[in-house]
Amino acid sequence: MNGMSKIVRTMARLLYPFVLAFGAYIVMHGHLTPGGGFQGGAVIASGLAMMVVAFGRRSEKHVREGVLSVIEDFGALAFLGLAFLGIGTTFFYNLIANSGWLFGSSVSYGSNPGYLNTGGTLPYMNWAVGLKVLAGLGSIVVLMAFVFGEDEDEDTA
Partner 1 sequence: MKILLDLPYISCALLIGFGVYAAIFKSNLIKIVIGLSLVERGVNLFLVSLGYREGARAPIFTYAPTENMVLPTPQALTLTSIVIGLATTALMLAFCIQVYRKHGTLESDRIARKLKEKSE
Partner 2 sequence: MSIVEHSPALLVGIPLLAAFATPLISKASGKLRDIFVFLCLAFIFALAVVLISDVIQNGTRVYVMGGKLPSLTLPSGKTFPIRIILEPDAMSALMVLLTALIGLIGFLYSLQFIRAEGAPDKFYTLFMLLIAGMLGLEMTGDLFNFFVFFEITSIAACGLVGFRISEATSSVAAFRTMTIYTLSGLILLLGVGLLYGEYDALNIAYIASKLSFSGVDKLALALFIGALLMKIGSVPAHMWVPDAYGESPAPATIALVINTQAGLYGLLRVCFTLFGVSRAAHIGWLLAIIGTISILVGVLASIYQNDLKRLIAYTAVSQTGYMLMALGAGMAAKGELGFGRTALEGGVFHIFNDVISMGLVFLCAGMIYRATGIRDLNKLGGLAGKMRWIAVLFLIGGLAVAGLPPFNGFASKLMIYESVYKLNPIFSALALLCSIILLGVYVRLFYSIFLGSKLVEPQRIPKGMILASSLLALLIIGIGLLPGMVVKSLVSPAVGALMDKAGYIGKVIAGGM
Where along the sequence are the contacts to partner 2 (CB under 8 A)?
A: 69-70, 73-74, 76-77, 80, 83-84, 86-94
Least distance from partner 1 to the Cβ atom of residue 114, Å: 4
Instruction: Please check whether residue 120 is in contact with residue 94, taking contact to mean a CB–CB distance below 8 angstroms.
Output: yes
Nearer to partner 1, 11 or 147 (CB): 147
Q: Which does 33 bind (CB under 5 to 8 A by kind): partner 2, partner 1, none?
A: partner 1
Q: Which does 84 bind (CB under 5 to 8 A by kind): partner 1, partner 2, none?
A: partner 2
For residues 65 and 141, give the distance between their C-alpha atoms in angstroms, rounded to a whole number. Answer: 10
Q: Which does 17 bind (CB under 5 to 8 A by kind): partner 1, partner 2, none?
A: none
For residues 60 and 118, give the distance between their C-alpha atoms in angstroms, rounded to a whole number. Answer: 40
For residues 106 and 114, give the distance between their C-alpha atoms in angstroms, rounded to a whole number. Answer: 12
Least distance from partner 1 to the Cβ atom of residue 13, Å: 27
User: What is the full DSSP assignment across 48-63?
Assistant: HHHHHHHHGGGGTTTS
Least distance from partner 1 to the Cβ atom of residue 23, Å: 16
Return the H-helix or E-strand segment holding 82: helix 65-85
